Amino acid sequence: MVALVASCGGSSSGEVTIENVVSEDLDGGSFTATGSMICEAGDVDTTAFDIGETLWWYEDVYRCADNSGSFTLRGELPLNPSNWGDDGPTEDLEGTWTLTGRSGDYGNLEGGGTVVVDFEPDWVESYVGELSEVDE
């Protein structure tokens, strides 16, 4: 599940908090949302990822259940080899996210912020940042 909260500081920008509980197969999940800039619920699909020696990046597409559109978030998490065990990370990872794709009602959004990935007891990606509308 992903919870997304947007509180607008005007009609063109807002703070955002997103929580994505990743599915057991590590290929997406679903989200719920509150706020005025994003739909209330939908599905998440992981479309790309790479884990290198010092950086893990991924892109997730959030598709709104109300068919209002979709948006793509790219997460980048620096890796510390001393915090990586045989089964993956041994503690939370912290990095950044950027909105990299958009469609439908979200075609004019941009934004980014920080992301923390917690692996216990469930894999949860927590995003905090800001979204804003841009003229295109």
What is d(CA 106, CA 99) in angstroms, rounded to the nearest whole number? 11
Please tell me the pTM assigned to this model: 0.81
Q: Are 41 and 64 in contact (CB under 8 A)?
A: yes
Structural class in CATH, domain 2-133: mainly beta
pLDDT at residue 126, as a whole number: 86
Sign of the CA dihedral with 47 first, then 121, 119, and 1 last: positive
3 state SS of 92: coil
Task: List, run by run, the mean pLDDT of 10-residue segments along the chain (136 residues).
Answer: 39 78 78 75 90 90 94 92 73 93 93 90 85 82
pLDDT at residue 3, as a whole number: 40
What is d(CA 103, CA 68) in angstroms, rounded to the nearest whole number? 8
pLDDT at residue 35, as a whole number: 63
